[in-house]
């Protein structure tokens, strides 16, 4: 899912988003609750109509964003009280609020409120947060008014503690939820640890329900997570990298600020059919990036989303037909795409507050 | 002409620009000279190919932008020496440089270097600057290497002094130029004074050559200037206003930040066929503007350019068939479009450094 935090995937129209191959988009409960407000969106016909997106929409609860506020946050059993960055007002995100907001938005999939712990965390703190996540999930389930319209996914927490992850996955499975998310990963831990936790979770979550890995990730992370049973992803990387002048290609991430592109008449990726690659030279894209021009952000965003959709479509096909060599090939290609191309440039942060 | 200072009309692809009805675009010699450099653009096939625009391109010389640097500028007979905002280096814009740069860009119409005077100006200073503009024009004409490919327009100056305007227009007419621009207007003078100067200039410029009024203007300015014989315009208003959340409509300029649009399900202008009006509600556009989202800037820019092209196409048709009542109707409509719609909002500045 491309990330459309504020009911827009930055710079793209819904038609362009659809043309990248995207079926489903993610928006953010917390951000839309603050601005323009869920009742306003409900009044004008719901989030689909508001943002003119006919496909499915999933909303993150916003817990992750609120928990990144740290010094502005106080967590209690009731919920997460925080001071809004927008207007300085105190607000309280509770399980009941996130369900009310998401049902008012009329989204297809709502996420339960969870408590993320910052790493490193003590086992005690991690266990507490995980237990509270379960209690909040129960409150979310009880608060639902329109289960027939809006599915609710629970979120497996448990930090980097295998026993906690397994126990939590089993606990949530027993609740027979619409779908399951794996949260609290890709927050700074080593990649192997992340994949280990993913594998533990998927092994203890039902295979006939969607298993969604939140906030992941680089192309290689996605392929490796699919190989461990994950069905659904969201990540700001393709859009954020695009806005910062970085382009994913099968030969590596290219930093369009690089001087080597200054007079390069070639398309960004000659094998790509996206609007950026069909219409312009690398020299022009570099110029747009250097000048911080809107068109550059827009074209590279579209390119990166197109690339990610190509990637997952290759993985999907290989999994569907059970073609092990095709899977291996896409795994290697994803590894190459994740690394910097020879022409280099600074790394893009792997994850963040998701705005 | 929509303004594409840095070889891009902010946020739009060439296809979208073309779809607004635009035939010809303006870019800026000074900005492209600084970044990415005219030799670079020449090397990758010229400005048309670089920015993927197949239609005609006119470049402003950049004099106007340099003259707005004031405290960083020293004018001599040689040219305008200034300190670059980009890298702090001293550069010198001369008649020979602007011709060399524009010919290297391969544009269809190059503008001569002129000296703009800041208002208020003494008659002596205005006369000096006008005389220097003529001397610089002669140097531009001599510096040309490719007159068969790139036309050169001279610029009538003369401030707000009728005699100077007339004398300068006659002086340039005697040079039998490819086309004529009227410069130094819409810089803070009263609207009536501006139109008076325009009328004096067009009356003394050949009717069988293009007469181009630089940097103008509001819809009503454009109609009134056409009625005084002007053929060509450029203005940052539709694009800049769009980026700032303002939309031109036949019932006035609308400020999309206005709270009255918060839950308004109507399209921006139900009679308009642009992408913004065909796909989204005012409520959604307002949300995008309030969140400073790229998509909002982009959609409102496209809408405003579409509006301006509709306007000039109505004027053109009325002039072609000599329909006085149609002209009067479009004049009244343009007046309405220039004023704020009832729902108000702050004025957009009439002109500026054009970036």
CB contact under 8 A, B40 and A295: no
> CB contact, 8 Å: A10 with chain B?
yes
Planar angle of CA A304, A308, A310, nearest 5 degrees: 115
Place A345 in a pLDDT band, splitting at 50, 70 and 90: very low
Take residue B335 and report the two structure tokens written for it.
């007046």
Q: Is the dihedral of CA B203, B206, B207, B212 positive or negative?
A: negative
From the list A275, A284, A294, the residue facing B51 with the nearest CB is A284
Average pLDDT, integer, range A67-78: 84
CB contact under 8 A, B283 and A44: yes
Instruction: Quote the CA–CA distance of A318 and B12 in Å, as a whole number.
Output: 37
State how far Cα B160 lies from the chain centre. Answer: 20
Question: Beta strand A73-75 with A151-156: parallel, antiparallel or unpaired?
Answer: unpaired
> CB contact, 8 Å: B175 with chain A?
no
From the list A7, A265, A283, the residue facing B287 with the nearest CB is A7
Instruction: Quote the CA–CA distance of A101 and A90 in Å, as a whole number.
Output: 17
- Say if residue A354's pLDDT is above 70: no
Instruction: Quote the CA–CA distance of A259 and B140 in Å, as a whole number.
Output: 33
> CB contact, 8 Å: A40 with chain B?
yes
What pLDDT, on the 0 to 100 scale, is given for residue B343? 62
- Say if residue A339's pLDDT is above 50: yes
What pLDDT, on the 0 to 100 scale, is given for residue B67? 79
What pLDDT, on the 0 to 100 scale, is given for residue B264? 97
Contacts of A279 in chain B (CB under 8 A): 13-15, 52
CB contact under 8 A, B40 and A283: yes
Place A296 in a pLDDT band, splitting at 50, 70 and 90: very high
Place B159 in a pLDDT band, splitting at 50, 70 and 90: very high
From the list B12, B262, B275, the residue facing A36 with the nearest CB is B262
Comparing CA positions, the residue from B201, B210, B219 lying closest to residue B153 is B210
CB hemisphere CA count around B152 (13 angstroms): 29
The percent of residues in chain B predicted with pLDDT above 90, rounded, is: 89
Question: How many other CB atoms sit within 10 Å of the CB of residue A77?
Answer: 9
Helix (H/G/I), strand (E/B), else coil: A93: strand
As a whole number of angstroms, the longest Cα–Cα distance in chain B is: 61
Q: Which residue has the tokens 């988009």?
A: A25
Average pLDDT, integer, range A68-97: 89
> CB contact, 8 Å: A262 with chain B?
yes
From the list A49, A275, A293, the residue facing B6 with the nearest CB is A293
Domains, chain B, ordered by start: 14-235 (3.20.20.105), 240-338 (no CATH)
What is the value of ipTM here, to two decimals? 0.95
B20 in Cβ contact with B3 (< 8 Å):
no
Q: Which of residues 293-352 of A touch B (CB under 8 A)?
A: 293-295, 297-299
Residues of A annotated as catalytic are 60, 234
> CB contact, 8 Å: A251 with chain B?
no
Helix axes A123-143 and A95-105, enclosed angle (nearest 10): 50
Residue-wise pLDDT tens digits, B86-123: 888 999 999 999 999 999 999 999 999 999 888 889 99
Take residue B202 and report the two structure tokens written for it.
């067009």
B276 in Cβ contact with B285 (< 8 Å):
yes
Average pLDDT, integer, range A165-193: 97
Residues A3, A156, A94, A355: what is their CA dihedral angle, to the nearest 10 degrees? -20
Residue in A240, A294, A302 to test binding to B, most B beta-carbons within 10 Å: A294
Instruction: Quote the CA–CA distance of A21 and A19 in Å, as a whole number.
Output: 5
- Respond yes or no on whether the N-terminal peptide bond of residue B217 is cis (omega within 30° of 0): yes
A95 in Cβ contact with A140 (< 8 Å):
yes
Rounded to a whole number of angstroms, the distance from the CA of A173 to the nearest CA of chain B is: 38
Residue-wise pLDDT tens digits, A6-37: 999 999 999 999 999 999 999 999 999 999 99
Instruction: Quote the CA–CA distance of B23 and B33 in Å, as a whole number.
Output: 24
Per-residue three-class SS string for chain B: CCECCCCCCCCCCHHHHHHCCCCCEEEEHHHHHHCCCHHHHHHCCCHHHHHCCCCCEEEECCHHHHHCCHHHEEECCCCEEEECCCCCCEEEECHHHHHHHHHHHCCCEEECCCCCCCCCCCHHHHHHHHHHHHHHHHHHHHHCCCCCCCEEEEEECCCCCHHHHHHHHHHHHCCCCCEEEECCCCCCCCHHHHHHHHHHHHHCCCCCCEEEECCCCCHHHHHHHHCCCCCEECCCHHHHHHHCCEEEECCEEEECCCHHHCCCCCCCCCCCCCHHHHHCCHHHHHHHHHCCCHHHHHHHHHHHHHHHHHHHHHHHHHHHHCCHHHHHHHHHHHHHHHCECCCCCCCCCCCCCCC
Contacts of A288 in chain B (CB under 8 A): 8
What pLDDT, on the 0 to 100 scale, is given for residue A343? 62
Instruction: Quote the CA–CA distance of A289 and A243 in Å, as a whole number.
Output: 8
Question: Beta strand B179-182 with B151-156: parallel, antiparallel or unpaired?
Answer: parallel
B175 in Cβ contact with B144 (< 8 Å):
no
Q: How does DSSP assign A20-88, residue by residue?
A: TT---EEEEHHHHHHTT-HHHHHHTT-HHHHHT--S-EEEE-SHHHHHTTGGGEEE-SS-EEEE-TTTS
Q: Which residue has the tokens 């040219």?
A: B79
CB contact under 8 A, B290 and A262: no
- Respond yes or no on whether the N-terminal peptide bond of residue A328 is cis (omega within 30° of 0): no
- Say if residue B341's pLDDT is above 60: yes
Instruction: Quote the CA–CA distance of B77 and B136 in Å, as a whole number.
Output: 8
Instruction: Quote the CA–CA distance of A334 and A250 in Å, as a whole number.
Output: 7
> CB contact, 8 Å: A46 with chain B?
no
From the list A11, A275, A280, the residue facing B298 with the nearest CB is A11
What pLDDT, on the 0 to 100 scale, is given for residue B73? 87
Q: For chain B, what is the mean pLDDT?
A: 94
Rounded to a whole number of angstroms, the distance from the CA of A125 to the nearest CA of chain B is: 36
What pLDDT, on the 0 to 100 scale, is given for residue A355? 37
CB contact under 8 A, B295 and A8: yes
CB contact under 8 A, B13 and A45: no
What pLDDT, on the 0 to 100 scale, is given for residue B119? 82
CB contact under 8 A, A288 and B8: yes
Place A264 in a pLDDT band, splitting at 50, 70 and 90: very high
CB contact under 8 A, B52 and A284: yes
> CB contact, 8 Å: B35 with chain A?
yes
Residue-wise pLDDT tens digits, A189-232: 999 999 999 999 999 999 999 999 999 999 999 999 999 999 99
Helix (H/G/I), strand (E/B), else coil: A106: coil
Rounded to a whole number of angstroms, the distance from the CA of B16 to the nearest CA of chain A is: 12
- Overall size of chain B counted in residues: 355
Size of interface A-B (CB pairs under 8 A): 106
From the list B8, B14, B265, the residue facing A293 with the nearest CB is B8
> CB contact, 8 Å: A6 with chain B?
yes
Comparing CA positions, the residue from B213, B167, B150 lying closest to residue B351 is B213
Residue-wise pLDDT tens digits, A248-263: 999 999 999 999 999 9
Query: Backbone phi, then psi, for B213, in 5-degree steps?
Result: -95, 115
CB contact under 8 A, B294 and A297: yes
Contacts of B33 in chain A (CB under 8 A): none
Residues of B annotated as catalytic are 60, 234
* Alpha carbon separation from B215 to A154, B101, B121, B234 (Å, rounded): 58, 21, 20, 5
Chain B's closest residue to A301, CA to CA, is B294
> CB contact, 8 Å: A44 with chain B?
yes
> CB contact, 8 Å: B86 with chain A?
no
> CB contact, 8 Å: B284 with chain A?
yes
CB contact under 8 A, A6 and B293: yes
Average pLDDT, integer, range B178-198: 96
B152 in Cβ contact with B104 (< 8 Å):
no
> CB contact, 8 Å: A291 with chain B?
yes
Take residue A278 and report the two structure tokens written for it.
């069909």
> CB contact, 8 Å: B13 with chain A?
yes
Place A350 in a pLDDT band, splitting at 50, 70 and 90: very low
What pLDDT, on the 0 to 100 scale, is given for residue B72? 79
């Amino acid at each position: 899912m491309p990330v459309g935090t504020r009911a827009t995937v930055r710079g793209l129209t819904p038609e362009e988003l659809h043309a990248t191959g995207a079926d489903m988009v993610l928006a953010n409960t917390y951000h839309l609750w603050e601005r323009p407000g869920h009742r306003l969106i409900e009044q004008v016909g719901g989030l689909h109509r508001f943002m003119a997106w006919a496909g499915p929409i999933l909303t993150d609860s916003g817990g992750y964003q609120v928990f990144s506020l740290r010094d502005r946050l106080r967590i209690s059993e009731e919920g997460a009280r925080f001071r809004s960055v927008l207007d300085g007002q105190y607000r309280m995100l509770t399980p009941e609020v996130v369900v009310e907001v998401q049902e008012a938005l009329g989204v297809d999939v709502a996420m339960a409120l969870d408590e993320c712990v910052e790493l490193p965390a003590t086992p005690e703190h991690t266990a507490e947060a995980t237990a509270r996540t379960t209690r909040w999930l129960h409150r979310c389930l009880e608060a639902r008014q329109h289960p027939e319209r809006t599915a609710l996914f629970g979120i497996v927490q448990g930090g980097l503690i295998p026993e906690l992850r397994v126990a939590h996955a089993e606990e949530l499975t027993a609740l027979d939820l619409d779908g399951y998310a794996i949260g609290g990963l890709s927050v700074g831990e080593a990649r192997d640890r992340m994949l280990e936790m993913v594998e533990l979770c998927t092994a203890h979550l039902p295979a006939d329900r969607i298993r969604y890995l939140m906030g992941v990730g680089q192309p290689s992370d996605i392929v490796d997570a699919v190989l461990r049973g994950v069905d659904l992803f969201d990540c700001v990387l393709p859009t954020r990298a695009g806005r910062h002048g970085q382009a994913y290609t099968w030969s590596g991430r290219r930093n369009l600020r690089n001087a080597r592109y200054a007079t390069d008449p070639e398309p960004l990726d000659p094998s790509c059919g996206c609007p950026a690659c069909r219409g312009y030279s690398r020299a022009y894209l570099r110029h747009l990036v250097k000048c911080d021009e809107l068109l550059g952000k827009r074209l590279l965003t579209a390119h990166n989303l197109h690339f990610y959709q190509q990637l997952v479509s290759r993985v999907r096909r290989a999994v569907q037909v059970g073609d092990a060599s095709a899977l291996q090939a896409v795994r290697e290609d994803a590894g190459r795409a994740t690394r910097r191309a020879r022409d280099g440039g600074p790394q893009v942060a792997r994850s963040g507050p998701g705005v």
